[in-house]
Structure 1
Amino acid sequence: MRILGPETPDDRELREWFESQERGNIERLETGAQTIIQLVTGLYGVLFAVLALSDQPAYLQNPVVRWAGTAGVCAFFASLIAAMLVALPRRISYQKDNLTEMHQQYRRLQGRKATLLRAAQIVFLFGTACLIAVILAILWSL
């Protein structure tokens, strides 16, 4: 780490790159949340088609299908809610002439969005695993 001396072009380029990454971080978090929302919406259709709630096929009597199907529906719904909380705008109040408070509010916003997106991703993966379990249980029982 260089402490003294003028900033070199490489140092400036690195600093500017990190600044641009920080500026775009909130947008990337929201884009990730929107992607999860789209995936959950699509996989809900797949899960409901497999479960075929209207005709009650025989494979719905399989406990693995019932429990994994229920867990998958709940997990996808929880993932959808968490992702929507990332994407929804939220009012932030701060003093416009206090850079320290502005920086703290930005970090708090970024931390909240990152935590919610991480939760959405983990629950989404669990829901996907449940969907795979349902499909495999149906295929093995045929």
Structure 2
Amino acid sequence: MPVLGPETPDERELREWLEKQKRGNIERLETSAQTIIQLVTGLYGVLFAVLALSDQPAYLEQPVVQWAGTVGVGAFFATLVMALFVLLPRRVSYETDNLGEMQAVYQGLLGRKAVLLQIAQGCFLIGMAALVVVILAILWQG
């Protein structure tokens, strides 16, 4: 049970730090989504460079390269879509004099962005794994 009494400087500092972290959550989620978009854009270039060469090398006929390439392209596309959904503005409405409703709207917005970013991260990992499989299949072709 918490002790009642005046707030100590350490407690005040901790409370203020936690409030600052809370205020920055949505901004950090959106910054993370932007970073993922930049990474995927670059990795799309790598994947397409490996898969879409004009002279059609023999490794493109390997089923593992075809399947992993398809999975990679799809996963990176899903990553971009989910990351963009994190960044898209969304209209929210609430009563300005109802702090409980404002908190619920904030928690809903934060939760939605966090879930979408987690899905984007999962898709990104799948895309990276597919890219690694494509590259390894090319290196090990015999």
| Count of aligned pairs between the two proteins | 142
1:72-120 CA-partner distances (Å, limit 9, x unpaired): 0000000000000001111111111111100000000000000000110
Considering only aligned residues, what root-mean-square deviation do their CA atoms show, in Å? Answer: 1.0
Q: What residue is the counterpart of 2:108 in the other structure?
A: 108
Q: What residue is the counterpart of 2:118 in the other structure?
A: 118
1:25-68 CA-partner distances (Å, limit 9, x unpaired): 00000000000000000000000001125332211111110000
Secondary structure of residue in 1 paired with 2:97: coil
C-alpha distance in 1 between matches for 2:131 and 2:84: 21
- Scaled by the length of structure 1, the TM-score of the pair is 0.97
Q: What residue is the counterpart of 1:76 in the other structure?
A: 76
C-alpha distance in 2 between matches for 1:57 and 1:3: 73
Q: What residue is the counterpart of 2:15 in the other structure?
A: 15
Q: What residue identity is the alignment partner of 1:132?
A: V
C-alpha distance in 1 between matches for 2:122 and 2:55: 32
C-alpha distance in 2 between matches for 1:95 and 1:18: 25
Q: What residue is the counterpart of 2:27 in the other structure?
A: 27
Q: How is 1:28-67 mapped onto 2 (pairs within 5 angstroms)? A: 28-67=28-67
Note the residue ranges of structure 1 that are not aligned, 5 or more in a row. Answer: none
C-alpha distance in 1 between matches for 2:67 and 2:79: 18
C-alpha distance in 1 between matches for 2:96 and 2:55: 60
C-alpha distance in 1 between matches for 2:88 and 2:3: 41
Note the residue ranges of structure 2 that are not aligned, 5 or more in a row. Answer: none
- Scaled by the length of structure 2, the TM-score of the pair is 0.97
Percentage of pairs with the same residue: 72
Secondary structure of residue in 2 paired with 1:141: coil
- State the shift of 1:5 in Å: 1.3
- State the shift of 1:3 in Å: 3.0
